[in-house]
């Protein structure tokens, strides 16, 4: 299982979502409004007022998807094709391994201490 996070331009989210409708077994996604700024000084314009440096964030959307391994490449392909305009600030995508997922609608037994910590 993988977690895919993408930070994209807000006007690209509907195009991404529409493309996901055609992906069989698409697991669903969460979308959040976020703000971001570039960390690379060479792309940031010089500002005379230091206060402006603290206000150079732009609105973005974060798409979060928990995906079975076999769907990851297809999901990444869709995001890349739908979110990219070829301009600076299009966003970025990253993938993280997920060790465990618990669906909150399922009954689970919670263990207070892992078995390796129990006294013998």
Is residue 2 within 8 Å of 96, Cβ to Cβ? yes
Read off the tokens for 6.
């993408």
| Cβ within 8 Å of residue 12, ≥6 positions away | 61, 82, 83, 85, 91
Instruction: Tell me the whole-structure pTM to 2 decimals.
Output: 0.77
37, exposed or middle or buried, with CB in 10 Å at 0-12, 13-18, 19+? Answer: middle
Distance CA 74, CA 100 (A): 22
Distance CA 25, CA 110 (A): 29
The tens place of each residue's pLDDT in the chain, 120 residues long, gives 999 999 999 999 999 999 999 999 999 999 999 998 776 655 555 656 655 556 678 899 999 999 999 999 999 999 999 999 998 889 999 999 998 888 888 777 665 554 444 444
Candidates 3.30.70.120, 3.90.1150.10, 3.30.830.10, 3.40.50.720; CATH matching 2-117: 3.30.70.120
């Amino acid at each position: 299982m993988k977690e895919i996070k993408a930070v994209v331009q807000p006007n690209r989210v509907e195009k991404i979502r529409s493309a996901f409708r055609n992906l069989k077994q698409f697991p669903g996604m969460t979308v959040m409004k976020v703000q971001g700024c570039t960390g690379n000084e060479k792309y940031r314009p010089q500002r005379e007022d230091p206060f402006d440096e603290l206000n150079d964030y732009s609105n973005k959307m974060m798409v979060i998807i928990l995906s079975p391994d076999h769907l990851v490449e297809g999901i990444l392909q869709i995001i890349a094709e739908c979110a990219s305009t070829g301009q600076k600030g299009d966003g970025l995508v990253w993938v993280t391994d997920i060790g465990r997922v618990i669906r909150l609608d399922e009954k689970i037994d919670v263990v207070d201490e892992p078995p390796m910590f129990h006294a013998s």
